[in-house]
Amino acid sequence: MTSSALVTGATSGIGRAVAHALGAAGHHVLVHGRDAARGADTVAAIRCAGGSAEFVAADLADPASCRALAATAADVDVLVNDAGTFPADGLTPDVTDHDLAAVFAVNVAAPHRLVAALAPRMAARGGGAIVNVLSMAAAHGMPGIGLYGASKAALAQLTRAWAVEFEPAGVRVNAVSPGPTRTEGMERFGPALDAMAAKAPAGRPATPAEIAAAVAFLAAPGSSFVQGAVLDVDGGRCAV
């Protein structure tokens, strides 16, 4: 039977590259996002490369929509929690109540709801793999991304907790922590992305495909003894 994978935030950037990588690895990919046109583009590109995919829309900030997504994706073998958001003005005095709610709804509550619904079903079918997409902002203090970093730190801790909770039943849970990566979502930062990337030994932003390769590794059977890990994919920033 064909393995299937749900990739949240697969209409753009890193998530789209992950969807491509998992499609190339033979999974039927549920391409999640809100933008149906970009979802259709991602599905078409995967099919064009010989893979199998379909688009599933859901607003992860809305609990009912998130639960509907979990019902649609009930029998996936792989879950990649990639979708993420951060406030336009992230300096602490500028963060609104709406920002506080939205960042934690999409970056923490949505992965929690999806894992709560899907991990037990993976376990009942004999196993599965979950990969969470974090950020180096979870481990480095940086002005303007404190709230965002805190949400990713929460997801890092959930990664460890879920590993202990679900791995005895065969569901591996790991995370990738990307450094600055050139995506549509980062376009608004312009040269600031390069300036941030320059602080790492690699000295440049990642491509989405470089992050996706690490996610695909953690989703594949070849990483069977990697459990509860956070893999830094940040051009060496973790070593500085």
Ligand X SMILES: NC(=O)c1ccc[n+]([C@@H]2O[C@H](COP(=O)([O-])OP(=O)(O)OC[C@H]3O[C@@H](n4cnc5c(N)ncnc54)[C@H](OP(=O)(O)O)[C@@H]3O)[C@@H](O)[C@H]2O)c1
Find the binder of ligand X among 53, 60, 70, 175 (CB under 6 A): 60
Closest C-alpha to 31, from 9, 13, 51 = 9
42: contact with ligand X by CB under 6 A: no
Q: Strand 52-57 to strand 78-81: parallel, antiparallel, or no bridges (unpaired)?
A: unpaired
What string marks each residue from 11 to 30 as x (binds ligand X by CB under 6 A) or -? xxxxx---------------
Interhelix angle 146-166/110-124, rounded to 10 degrees, is: 20
Q: Say how many residues touch ligand X, by CB under 6 A.
A: 27
Find the binder of ligand X among 4, 159, 174, 183 (CB under 6 A): 183
Of 55, 104, 148, 162, catalytic: 148
Find the binder of ligand X among 22, 28, 31, 85 (CB under 6 A): 85
Cα gap 121→104, rounded to integer Å:
25
Find the binder of ligand X among 83, 119, 158, 215 (CB under 6 A): 83
Q: Per DSSP, what are the bridge partners of residue 137? A: none
Q: Strand 78-81 to strand 4-7: parallel, antiparallel, or no bridges (unpaired)?
A: parallel
| Cα of 88 vs its chain's centroid, Å | 20
What are the tokens at 168? Answer: 């005895």
87: contact with ligand X by CB under 6 A: no
Instruction: Enumerate residues 115-144 that contact ligand X by CB under 6 A.
Output: 133, 135
The 4-7 sheet, strands edge to edge: 52-57, 28-33, 4-7, 78-81, 128-133, 171-178, 230-233
What string marks each residue from 204 to 223 as x (binds ligand X by CB under 6 A) or -? --------------------
178: contact with ligand X by CB under 6 A: yes
Known catalytic membership, residue 136: no
- Burial of 218 by CB count in 10 Å (0-12 exposed, 13-18 middle, 19+ buried)? buried
- Shortest Å distance, C-beta 131 to ligand X: 11
- Burial of 221 by CB count in 10 Å (0-12 exposed, 13-18 middle, 19+ buried)? exposed
- Shortest Å distance, C-beta 23 to ligand X: 16
Q: Which is nearer to ligand X, 16 or 28 (CB)?
A: 16
Find the binder of ligand X among 87, 180, 214, 235 (CB under 6 A): 180
Residues assigned a catalytic role: 148
Given the rule CB under 6 A, which residues bind ligand X? Answer: 9, 11-15, 33-35, 38, 59-61, 82-85, 106, 133, 135, 178, 180-181, 183-186
